[in-house]
Amino acid sequence: MIANVSGNGIAVGITGIGAYAPERVLTNADLERMVDTSDEWIVTRTGIRERHIAEPEQAASDLALPAAREALEEAGVAARDLDLLVVATATPDMLFPATAAVLADELGAKRAAAYDLLAGCTGFVYALSQAYGAIATGLSGKALVVGTETLSKITNWQDRSTCILFGDGAGAAVVEPVSEGGILGFELGADGSGGSDLCIPAGGSRTPVTADALDQELQFIKMRGQEVFRFATRVMVTSAEELLAECGAGVDDVDLYVPHQANKRIIDHAVKNLGLASERVFMNIDRYGNTSSASIPLCLAEARDQGLLDDGTRVLMSAVGAGLTWGSAYMTWTNGRASR
Ligand code: ACO
């Protein structure tokens, strides 16, 4: 789907962001001691130098909680005033109850509808569109959108082709009506024919977790890296181009490009093909790896800390992930300008 929502009569924006990454850091040197790999291979092929790893007792909601509190504090919104809480995650605390319900309880968001959304690494962009839609139609007043992942728990630490890529973290955004600017459009899609290129085979109704499934290590991420890479390089470009065209904008109308941090080579390809100036591109993949649905809000929080998100900054976010899914959002940043 694609939509230019700028003429919808209600401006909806992000009024607060927060992020959290677990303390423990796993470097490429650590990985050299675990699997047959090298810092040089990982940096050259992915741009990743280190990633954060959750403690055994830390679940997705535990990472989400500090990120959510920071976002609410920045927005000046009390959890009890939220009426929607969407958690994008591929690594929920458990299949049900939803991690969003767990988080709503911990935050004290007693009035909020709370559900999880599964769109792989595109989850944050999908969730942002859900919050936008709910607010634009009057269904919701104030929403919290969270991307949180403990990918370390579904990674096979003996598989060098995947274990070097992923990291843990969480990011959150408060979404509510703003006086002007805010979200300008979305382009979202899915191609399930590529689903088996990036999946966790066991743990659902197709293949429940059994001793046999565990013997075959089907509870871990399986990825055909080159297929995903080819798909990602294509849709990161087409999604952004189509959305900007729909919004009557061009690359010169992008002040900050915040791509999903999957692989520096995928980002470099998108930047080159879109014709974006490198100083407008935000990257932190070297320090976090691929944190899936947490990656874009982690970037937004760091961009804010670096003073890159001013009133009026035009931000383009694009992601691609399991599904296979993709999505882009284009918006004008509106620092602390909720219309209350
Ligand atoms: N260290 C050293 N060598 C390695 C490693 C490693 N960690 N991993 C693979 N190799 C080897 C391979 O065995 C292969 O060896 P061979 O030539 O002797 O057969 C060689 O390196 C090249 O392997 P490729 O798979 O061709 O390497 P490629 O350049 O494609 O990089 C990578 C692999 C990094 C996985 C890349 O394909 C990629 O980034 N794919 C996209 C992944 C992605 O973006 N996923 C996003 C979604 S995640 C989500 O939604 C949860």
Residue 106's closest CA among 127, 138, 80, 131? 80
Q: Stretch 203-232: mean pLDDT, rounded? A: 97
Predicted local distance difference test score (pLDDT) of residue 133: 97
Q: Stretch 216-244: mean pLDDT, rounded? A: 97
In tens, the pLDDT along 115-171 reads 999 999 999 999 999 999 999 999 999 999 999 999 999 999 999 999 999 999 999
Q: Stretch 286-301: mean pLDDT, rounded? A: 98
What atom in ligand 1 is closest to the CA of residue 161?
8
Residue 141 Cβ < 6 Å to ligand 1: no
On the 0-12 / 13-18 / 19+ scale of CB atoms within 10 A, 98 is buried
Instruction: Encode 172-183 in three state secondary structure.
Output: EEEEEEECCCEE
pLDDT at 338 over 80: no
Whole-model pTM: value is 0.96
Residue 201 Cβ < 6 Å to ligand 1: no
Atom 35 of ligand 1: nearest residue by CA position: 225
Residue 290 designated active-site: yes
Residue 290 Cβ < 6 Å to ligand 1: yes
The whole-chain average pLDDT of the chain stands at 97
Residue 199 designated active-site: no
User: Residue written as tokens 């595109």?
Assistant: 122
Residue 28 designated active-site: no
What's the pLDDT band for 337 if we cut at 50, 70, 90? low
- φ, ψ of residue 256 to 5 degrees: the values are -140, 120
Say whether 131 sits in a helix, a strand or coil. Answer: helix
Comparison of pLDDT for 334 and 336, the residue scoring more: 334
Predicted local distance difference test score (pLDDT) of residue 312: 95
On the 0-12 / 13-18 / 19+ scale of CB atoms within 10 A, 69 is middle
CA of 1 from ligand 1 middle (Å) equals 31
Predicted local distance difference test score (pLDDT) of residue 7: 87
Say whether 259 sits in a helix, a strand or coil. Answer: strand
Residue 230 Cβ < 6 Å to ligand 1: no
Residue 120 Cβ < 6 Å to ligand 1: yes
CA of 40 from ligand 1 middle (Å) equals 13
CA of 263 from ligand 1 middle (Å) equals 10
- φ, ψ of residue 252 to 5 degrees: the values are -70, -15
d(CA 142, CA 77): 8
- Which residues, including other chains, have CB under 8 Å from residue 333's CB and lie 6 or more apart? 13, 14, 181, 309, 310, 311, 312, 313, 314, 315
